[in-house]
Amino acid sequence: MTRPAMLFVLLLVPSAAAARCDPDNGGLKLPPGFCASVFADNLGQARHIAVAPDGAVYVNTWRSPYRKDGRVPRGGFLVALYDVDGSGLADHVLRFGESSSDPRATGGTGVAIHRGYLYAEESGRIVRYPLREGELVPKGEREVVLDNLPTTGGHTMHPFAITREGALFVNSGSASNACQMKDRAKRSPGKEPCDELPTRAGLWQYDATSPGQIFDTDGKYAQGLRNTVALAIHPQGGVYAVPHGRDQLHENWPERFTVLQGAELPAEAMYRIAHGADYGWPYCFYDGLHERYLLAPEYGGDGRQAGRCAERPRPLAVFPAHWAPNALAFHTHPAFPERYRGGAFIAFHGSWNRPKEQQGYNVVFVPLTTTGEPRGPFEVFADGFAGAKSIKDPKHAAHRPSGLAVGPGGALYVSDDQRGRIWRIVHVGE
């Protein structure tokens, strides 16, 4: 299906300021001057988002798409959306790509647009579709850019980011929580050395313009990153990441870590990734309360000593433990106020293993300089995803933020993989 020709010309990039907003902002709490509309709903487990220069929105969904009647919708795991009249609501919602009716298919997390192609993760590989003018759903043949990505154990999603020059950076998350002899078992020691590191818990670099590449150990760019779902390229260059921290310090090592330490450690941390650097997992974790690395208990740590971890790369910013960062996006468009220019938005999926009260389930803003250095503490930008009663746990939360993208008119899109909702957030004045 193609975009209607006359409306396509007149409304090529809908005005962010003119867009309709929902009276309740789709349930979100936003700073003064911002409002939101529910751009689309019930899409499935909506993960990452990409927006084309003409305003078309592409979403990658993961595993079985969600429907209230329990049935799987026809079509593939990729969803194309377009707002014809600039109302803030998608008029066209079309599925394509690998079929969700195939029991072997899993969908994916990553999606991006680069040099006329739509890139997406599908069932353990990175593929691309040609995007042609006037086509909402790509009609050309799919090409496999990178195959044989690891799909066993935990953390089998492969988010990615592409530089302007075409470098493809891909996450291969760890298969376990902390590389223990027995995963997530109480007092189980860590493997020495950790046998996952050759192919897991790091970022790999490939060429986005070259189909037919095969994942292997030679492509490793950086290691010691447990699971990097929030991954983006800074506007001035550089790979930025906010990996998921480890779990279960108190549960597995109660003699060494209190309940409070288990809730507050380790910090989620934002890094500028350096080629060849080692960020510590599974041997180390970052204590944001005392601004230091600590040796993991699986390798002899007691919550006080740094040991081999003392010289690991320092994070740019830290956030509370177990918030689960799932997306990172830089905002440079003048549609948002000056204070947001060049800053980073991070979508936190929300915790499941904090005692008493779970946290996260929000989108935060980190102010940055033009060169990507922090210039102030983070602040919660969008909240209320968990629902009117703010029940923040995976089972009861209404929505869980998962993807972020900035549209050509400056709108910020946020996805949810709990109920498959997409919000469109715009600035309309103070």
Q: What is the average per-residue pLDDT within 191-213?
A: 98
Per the prediction, the chain carries an average pLDDT of 92
List, as own/partner pairs, every contact residues 286-290 make where C-beta atoms lie below 8 angstroms and the sequence separation is at least 24, other chains included.
286/245, 286/312, 286/315, 286/318, 288/264, 288/318, 288/319, 288/320, 288/321, 289/264, 289/265
The single residue listed with the structure tokens 């193609």 is 2
- pLDDT for the residue numbered 100: 73
- pLDDT of residue 255 exceeding 90, the answer is yes
- Classify 5-427 by CATH class: mainly beta
Q: What is the pLDDT of residues 114-142, one digit of tens each?
A: 999 999 999 899 999 999 998 999 999 99
**Residue 82 pLDDT grade (very low, low, confident, very high; cuts 50, 70, 90):** very high
**Residue 9 pLDDT grade (very low, low, confident, very high; cuts 50, 70, 90):** very low
- High-pLDDT (> 70) share of the chain, %: 93
List, as own/partner pairs, every contact residues 130-137 make where C-beta atoms lie below 8 angstroms and the sequence separation is at least 24, other chains included.
131/52, 134/2, 134/3, 134/5, 134/8, 135/2, 136/1, 136/2, 136/3, 136/56, 136/80, 136/82, 136/92, 136/94, 137/1, 137/80, 137/94, 137/96
What residues contact residue 103 under an 8 Å CB cut-off, 6+ apart? none
- pLDDT for the residue numbered 373: 95
Q: Single out the residue of 79, 54, 9 nearest to residue 422, CA to CA.
A: 79
- pLDDT for the residue numbered 72: 56
User: How far is residue 289 from each of residues 269, 321, 349, measured CA to CA in Å?
Assistant: 12, 10, 22
**Residue 106 pLDDT grade (very low, low, confident, very high; cuts 50, 70, 90):** confident
> Which has the minimum average pLDDT: 64-73, 146-155, 305-314?
64-73
The single residue listed with the structure tokens 């309940």 is 259
Q: What is the average per-residue pLDDT within 60-77?
A: 70
With contact defined as beta carbons under 8 Å apart, do 98 and 107 qualify? yes
**Coil/strand/helix, residue 262:** helix
Give the C-alpha separation, 226 to 30, whole Å. 31
- pLDDT for the residue numbered 2: 41
Q: Single out the residue of 40, 59, 57, 25 nearest to residue 402, CA to CA.
A: 59
- pLDDT for the residue numbered 11: 35
- pLDDT of residue 279 exceeding 60, the answer is yes
**Residue 86 pLDDT grade (very low, low, confident, very high; cuts 50, 70, 90):** confident
- pLDDT of residue 430 exceeding 80, the answer is no
- pLDDT of residue 277 exceeding 50, the answer is yes
- pLDDT for the residue numbered 64: 60
- pLDDT of residue 104 exceeding 80, the answer is no
- pLDDT for the residue numbered 99: 79
Domain ranges of the chain: 5-427
Q: What is the average per-residue pLDDT within 356-362?
A: 90
- pLDDT of residue 70 exceeding 60, the answer is no
List, as own/partner pairs, every contact residues 395-400 make where C-beta atoms lie below 8 angstroms and the sequence separation is at least 24, other chains included.
397/350, 397/361, 398/27, 399/27, 399/361, 400/349, 400/350, 400/361
- Largest Cα–Cα distance of the chain, in whole Å? 69
- High-pLDDT (> 90) share of the chain, %: 84
- pLDDT of residue 1 exceeding 90, the answer is no
Q: What is the pTM (predicted TM-score) of this model?
A: 0.94
The better pLDDT of the pair 98, 234 is held by: 234
Q: What is the pLDDT of residues 131-172, one digit of tens each?
A: 999 899 999 999 999 999 999 999 999 999 999 999 999 999
